[in-house]
A and B are shown apart, each in its own frame.
Chain A
Amino acid sequence: MASLGSFLLLLTFVVAAYAAAASVAGARRRNNRLIESGIGAFYTVAALMTVASGVIIYSFVAGDYSIRYVQRYSDSVQPLFYRITSYWGGLDGSVMFWVFLLSLFGSVAVKVNRERLRELIPYVVAIVSVVEMFFIFLMVIHNNPFDTYLTQSPTDGRGLNPLLQNFYMAIHPPTMYLGFVGLTIPFAFGLSALITGHLDDSWLRAVRRWTMFSWFFLSLGLTLGMIWAYEELGWGGFWGWDPVENAGALPWFTATAFLHSVMVQERRGMLRVWNVTLVIVTFLLTIFGTFMTRSGVVQSVHAFGDDPALARLFMAFMGVVAVFSFSWLIYRLPLLKARHELDSWVSREAAFLANNWILLFSAFFVLFATMFPTITETINGERLTVGPPFFNRWMTPIGLSLLFLTGIGPLLAWRKSTVKNLAEQFLFPLVLALVTSGALVALGVRVWSSGICFALCALTFGTIAQEFWRGANVRRGMTGTDVVTAMIGLVGRNKRRYGGYIVHLGIVLMFLGFAGAGFKSDQQLLLKPGEEATVGSYVLKLDALRVTDDGQKQMVTAHVSVKGTDGKDLGKMYPAKWYYRKHEEEPTTEVGIRRSFAEDLYIVMPAFELQDQTASVEVHINPLVNWVWFGFGILAVGTGIALLPERALSFAMAPLPAHAATTAVLLLALLLAPALAYAQHVVDPKASQLQVFSSDVRDVTKKLACWCGGCSKLPVGECACGHCAMVKGEVTEMLKEGASNDAVLAHYTNPPAAHIDDAVHRGQSGNSLLSMPPAVGAGRLVYVVPVVLGLGGLFLAISLALRWSRRPVVAGAAGMLDEDDSLRSRLDDELRDLD
């Protein structure tokens, strides 16, 4: 298997080299057969890499420990899911995963654009093939995932570190790679456009969806990384300006700039040099990012390790790419002259230009600060680092100015905004921002930086709301429908623009979450059993320190009950420390988090004393942090809308019957409202205790509701309190003696008079002990009423919907268009955007 894998890599290298050579030769000699051959070879690379991926995954699943990579990251007890995801768990495999993704993306990009961009395709094939060749070269020469043990192969693997055996570890690297690798495609098209001289907008249109797709996955990867850090690492924050975090953020800045900057080129033929530069820089930063994490050039808690040879290879590659790309750029400068000049600083072009500068500056600043230790070491041998306070001091004003631009960008007109424009556009958002500022001042909120952030959030929110409102009103005028239908039609007609606004809304919410960090607090406490401790608006009490075991790990869990300072019961939290059998010196900390949109209560238990039953905890209060995750969700929806092909939702573009869309939205809301299930990442400490009792016992006891008085009346089969353990014990005995389920239940609902007051029965009896009432007499109501209500409600909703969907008479819509100038200019805008 291993030799097959290595052979496949070598073969892929050769085929990729052929693809590159044939494509370039074919393009230069205008020989179609050579070009076709090159494209065929390019597709073959994708096929070969798929097979190679299959080989390594097979080796993992089958447990072929003669392969060092498999032995390192897997073992015989590793769950199947983590065996498969170990493919990208180590350096060697992750490089192969990179090539695999690149070959797939490249093939799709070529297939889709083959007819539309005939002149560019050969060079696209060549460029992507060369990048593939570099990474395959790295593997073959340096880190081959198929390397085997030369002498005796071990019989079992070392296993993936349990710290890494969680959902986020499986999902975060692939999403990051989807983002990074995806950004190679726009680069390939951009550089091909430079080489062939075909520098019209066609290459931009081809790469638009690729860039959005990659940008989305990069954003997702970064957010998943943040969530992972927040939930798993236990330091209470989600971004530490660690070099590897920064490496992922660098291409994000320039890709964001590129996504916006293309709009200016499409509309006004300006910023063309910017666009090619941004696409080249973005690609270089993706390579740089992967270089930083693997070469040991910077110290990081994430870093793969020290590898100077690898570092040199990467630097050589980046050097060659940079020189090659920028040389072509300089050569083609005459073709990249802008069609128009900047007419005024109060224009949308100027806002985009400022956006470009700020984002580019952010990327270079973060790069500089991250590489600072290496730079200072080279200069005078002294290795100096800068930490998060430094990053935050700079990035906070930068972030706020970006938020400001997000707010005012859509309000500025193209070319030049007149005073009248400005007054009309800025009124509502500014008023909203001022009102918010007033409220903040009244509440005593700090001006820098949270106060300003909130005010800017209000400004941007006002802008977005205004855009939607005005757009919907224009559409209402045209189609005569109600507001909601108009809004859906509006978004459907201009997915890119309004999808983009929804993304901005997501960003506003994320900034809201970031601003909350300015009010966070943390405290270290010693919790003694039964004692109460007050932190913020919470009162914490350590009920118990329990030790449980599930075969794979031993878990020490603190049962902490939380109450508000007003005495209201807020539930329980279970911070814990887990000790895995095979990795006992590396315990993992399980954080307890109580989430709400207002704030998070976050408890970590780094130390405990079993004999005294005490726990030393660090308690964090993180206001508004959930808005970050929620905001990202909105961002995802917006990106999804923007990515939809033009003809999707075409029904929304036609004038709909009035109220149809409204009804649809209402029905959807009704259906989705109860579905909000929230999974908290805390292992239920009760879960491990269930294994002690057999499933028969559990089935019977699930029909009883716990009556110990302390818990929330869970079914006895699921409750882990001591009382229920006693009940379950009794039931086990009864079942062993052959009692039927009904007899067992009767024993508790109708206990023998002698035992009614003992510890098990506690004086309780009757049908109230059952978790579900029996289906006789009044009990039947419980089963019947919900069904009746549900069906009746559904019937009512459907009949109302039908009634509202009846088409009303739409009076002379056409006549309205001539009267309103603003209407006409808005129409112009919309039609122009309808690419």
Chain B
Amino acid sequence: MKHKAVKVGLTSLVLALSFGGLLYSTMGEATEYYKHVDEVMTQPTEWYGKKLQLHGYVVPDSIMWRKNSLEYKFKVQSNGQVVNATYTGVVPDTFKSDAEVVLKGTLSPDGLFTVSPNGVMAKCPSKYEAKPGNPTS
């Protein structure tokens, strides 16, 4: 009986350690920080190059679209802090002035936030609706 318990215990320990190790190593590159615009822009230098999920609100009338392309430049703000964002790709239907957005991307040292492909997720201002955001593929 004790022999069996030792076997089980040892196997579990090895499994747990190996999974833990695997998790730790894979998470390194895959994790993104979920931050609000004001949290990031008050100390932008800390966040350069890090993968972020930036939450904020699209500044009204700031969405610029280059004609005949899928390039967008816009501003996102929260609590008074504003960041410039740039993105090439498909935006969700709900992306417009004042939309609540979560942007996946990185902040570069020149203060420009580059959104990664399919990285714009927009929410409706209203509660409970299935929002056709653009989850990353």
Shortest Cβ distance from residue A249 to the other chain B in the assembled complex, whole angstroms = 14
Query: Which of B34, B68, B93, B128 contacts A385, CB < 8 Å?
Result: B34
Say if the beta carbon of A241 comes within 8 Å of chain B: yes
What does the 1/0 interface line of A291-328 toward B look like (CB < 8 Å)? Answer: 00000000101101100000000000000000000000
User: Are A386 and B91 touching (Cβ within 8 A)?
Assistant: no
Shortest Cβ distance from residue B129 to the other chain A in the assembled complex, whole angstroms = 5
User: Are A384 and B90 touching (Cβ within 8 A)?
Assistant: no
Shortest Cβ distance from residue A169 to the other chain B in the assembled complex, whole angstroms = 7
Contacts A301-B121, A384-B31, A585-B96; A526 near B132 (Cβ below 8 A): no
What does the 1/0 interface line of B116-128 toward A look like (CB < 8 Å)? Answer: 0010010110111
Contacts A304-B127, A387-B32; A235 near B91 (Cβ below 8 A): no
User: Are A612 and B32 touching (Cβ within 8 A)?
Assistant: no
A237 CB contacts on chain B under 8 angstroms: 135, 137
A299 CB contacts on chain B under 8 angstroms: 34, 53, 55, 102
Say if the beta carbon of B134 comes within 8 Å of chain A: yes
Say if the beta carbon of A394 comes within 8 Å of chain B: yes
Say if the beta carbon of B6 comes within 8 Å of chain A: no
In the bound complex, how far is the Cα of B136 from the Cα of A458, in angstroms? 30
What does the 1/0 interface line of A560-595 toward B look like (CB < 8 Å)? Answer: 000000000000000000000000011111000000
In the bound complex, how far is the Cα of B134 from the Cα of A283, in angstroms? 30
User: Are B137 and A606 touching (Cβ within 8 A)?
Assistant: no
Say if the beta carbon of B75 comes within 8 Å of chain A: no
Say if the beta carbon of A609 comes within 8 Å of chain B: yes
User: Are A524 and B89 touching (Cβ within 8 A)?
Assistant: yes
B127 CB contacts on chain A under 8 angstroms: 304-305
User: Are A616 and B135 touching (Cβ within 8 A)?
Assistant: no
In the bound complex, how far is the Cα of B103 from the Cα of A301, in angstroms? 12
User: Are A301 and B131 touching (Cβ within 8 A)?
Assistant: yes
In the bound complex, how far is the Cα of B89 from the Cα of A777, in angstroms? 61
B70 CB contacts on chain A under 8 angstroms: 524, 606-607, 616, 618
Query: Which of A164, A236, A386, A614 contacts B129, CB < 8 Å?
Result: A164
Shortest Cβ distance from residue A649 to the other chain B in the assembled complex, whole angstroms = 40
Contacts A385-B34, A526-B68, A612-B68; A301 near B135 (Cβ below 8 A): yes
Candidate in B89, B102, B130 with the most chain A CB atoms within 10 angstroms: B130
A233 CB contacts on chain B under 8 angstroms: 92, 132-134
A232 CB contacts on chain B under 8 angstroms: 132
What does the 1/0 interface line of A352-395 toward B look like (CB < 8 Å)? Answer: 00000000000000000000010000000011111111100110
Say if the beta carbon of B69 comes within 8 Å of chain A: yes
User: Are A606 and B91 touching (Cβ within 8 A)?
Assistant: yes
In the bound complex, how far is the Cα of B95 from the Cα of A234, in angstroms? 14
Say if the beta carbon of A240 comes within 8 Å of chain B: yes
A163 CB contacts on chain B under 8 angstroms: 93, 129-132
User: Are B94 and A586 touching (Cβ within 8 A)?
Assistant: yes
In the bound complex, how far is the Cα of B89 from the Cα of A614, in angstroms? 16
B133 CB contacts on chain A under 8 angstroms: 233, 301
What does the 1/0 interface line of B12-50 toward A look like (CB < 8 Å)? Answer: 000000000000001100111111000000000000000
Say if the beta carbon of A532 comes within 8 Å of chain B: no
In the bound complex, how far is the Cα of B88 from the Cα of A299, in angstroms? 24
Query: Which of A91, A240, A304 contacts B136, CB < 8 Å?
Result: A240
Shortest Cβ distance from residue B41 to the other chain A in the assembled complex, whole angstroms = 17
Say if the beta carbon of B2 comes within 8 Å of chain A: no
Shortest Cβ distance from residue A239 to the other chain B in the assembled complex, whole angstroms = 9
In the bound complex, how far is the Cα of B97 from the Cα of A585, in angstroms? 9
Shortest Cβ distance from residue A158 to the other chain B in the assembled complex, whole angstroms = 9
User: Are B27 and A390 touching (Cβ within 8 A)?
Assistant: yes
Shortest Cβ distance from residue B135 to the other chain A in the assembled complex, whole angstroms = 3
Say if the beta carbon of A133 comes within 8 Å of chain B: no
B132 CB contacts on chain A under 8 angstroms: 163, 232-234, 301, 588-589
B residues contacting the other copy or chain, number (CB 8 A): 41
Contacts A524-B89, A588-B93; A388 near B136 (Cβ below 8 A): yes
User: Are A385 and B90 touching (Cβ within 8 A)?
Assistant: no
User: Are A616 and B68 touching (Cβ within 8 A)?
Assistant: yes
B131 CB contacts on chain A under 8 angstroms: 163, 301-302
Candidate in B68, B121, B137 with the most chain A CB atoms within 10 angstroms: B137
In the bound complex, how far is the Cα of B67 from the Cα of A612, in angstroms? 10
In the bound complex, how far is the Cα of B133 from the Cα of A232, in angstroms? 11
- CB-nearest residue of chain B to A235: B134
B130 CB contacts on chain A under 8 angstroms: 163-164, 169, 301-302
What does the 1/0 interface line of A238-250 toward B look like (CB < 8 Å)? Answer: 0011100000000
Say if the beta carbon of A90 comes within 8 Å of chain B: yes
Say if the beta carbon of A185 comes within 8 Å of chain B: no
User: Are A235 and B30 touching (Cβ within 8 A)?
Assistant: no
- CB-nearest residue of chain A to B52: A385
Say if the beta carbon of A596 comes within 8 Å of chain B: no
- CB-nearest residue of chain A to B126: A161
Say if the beta carbon of A455 comes within 8 Å of chain B: no
User: Are A386 and B32 touching (Cβ within 8 A)?
Assistant: yes
User: Are B90 and A604 touching (Cβ within 8 A)?
Assistant: yes
- CB-nearest residue of chain A to B134: A235
B129 CB contacts on chain A under 8 angstroms: 161, 163-164
What does the 1/0 interface line of B63-88 toward A look like (CB < 8 Å)? Answer: 00101111000000000000000001
A393 CB contacts on chain B under 8 angstroms: 26, 30
B102 CB contacts on chain A under 8 angstroms: 299
User: Are B128 and A305 touching (Cβ within 8 A)?
Assistant: yes
User: Are A235 and B34 touching (Cβ within 8 A)?
Assistant: no
- CB-nearest residue of chain A to B96: A585
- CB-nearest residue of chain A to B116: A387
Q: State which residues 153-189 of A face B: CB under 8 Å.
A: 161, 163-164, 169
In the bound complex, how far is the Cα of B98 from the Cα of A662, in angstroms? 65
In the bound complex, how far is the Cα of B137 from the Cα of A235, in angstroms? 8
User: Are B30 and A387 touching (Cβ within 8 A)?
Assistant: yes
Shortest Cβ distance from residue A277 to the other chain B in the assembled complex, whole angstroms = 16
Shortest Cβ distance from residue A162 to the other chain B in the assembled complex, whole angstroms = 10
In the bound complex, how far is the Cα of B94 from the Cα of A581, in angstroms? 15
Shortest Cβ distance from residue A819 to the other chain B in the assembled complex, whole angstroms = 44
Q: State which residues 592-608 of A face B: CB under 8 Å.
A: 604, 606-607
- CB-nearest residue of chain A to B94: A586
Shortest Cβ distance from residue B80 to the other chain A in the assembled complex, whole angstroms = 21
User: Are A384 and B96 touching (Cβ within 8 A)?
Assistant: no
- CB-nearest residue of chain A to B135: A240
Candidate in A169, A233, A589 with the most chain B CB atoms within 10 angstroms: A233
Shortest Cβ distance from residue A428 to the other chain B in the assembled complex, whole angstroms = 34
Q: State which residues 236-286 of A face B: CB under 8 Å.
A: 236-237, 240-242
In the bound complex, how far is the Cα of B133 from the Cα of A363, in angstroms? 25
- CB-nearest residue of chain B to A92: B128
B65 CB contacts on chain A under 8 angstroms: 607
A526 CB contacts on chain B under 8 angstroms: 68-69
In the bound complex, how far is the Cα of B89 from the Cα of A234, in angstroms? 12
In the bound complex, how far is the Cα of B92 from the Cα of A616, in angstroms? 14
In the bound complex, how far is the Cα of B137 from the Cα of A242, in angstroms? 11
User: Are A386 and B27 touching (Cβ within 8 A)?
Assistant: yes
In the bound complex, how far is the Cα of B4 from the Cα of A582, in angstroms? 69
Shortest Cβ distance from residue A247 to the other chain B in the assembled complex, whole angstroms = 13
Shortest Cβ distance from residue A557 to the other chain B in the assembled complex, whole angstroms = 16
In the bound complex, how far is the Cα of B127 from the Cα of A384, in angstroms? 24
User: Are A235 and B90 touching (Cβ within 8 A)?
Assistant: yes
B68 CB contacts on chain A under 8 angstroms: 526, 609, 612, 614, 616
Q: State which residues 479-515 of A face B: CB under 8 Å.
A: none
Q: Which 7 A-B pairs have the closest CB atoms?
A: A240-B135, A301-B133, A390-B30, A383-B34, A237-B137, A304-B128, A305-B127
Given contacts A373-B34, A386-B27, A607-B70, 15 further A-B pairs with CB under 8 A are A161-B124, A161-B126, A163-B131, A235-B134, A240-B137, A299-B102, A383-B35, A384-B34, A388-B135, A390-B27, A586-B94, A586-B124, A588-B132, A606-B70, A618-B90
25 A/B residue pairs, CB under 8 Å, sorted by A: A163-B131, A169-B130, A233-B134, A235-B90, A242-B135, A299-B53, A301-B123, A305-B128, A383-B34, A384-B31, A384-B34, A387-B32, A388-B135, A388-B137, A524-B70, A524-B88, A586-B93, A587-B93, A606-B70, A607-B69, A609-B68, A612-B67, A616-B70, A618-B89, A618-B90
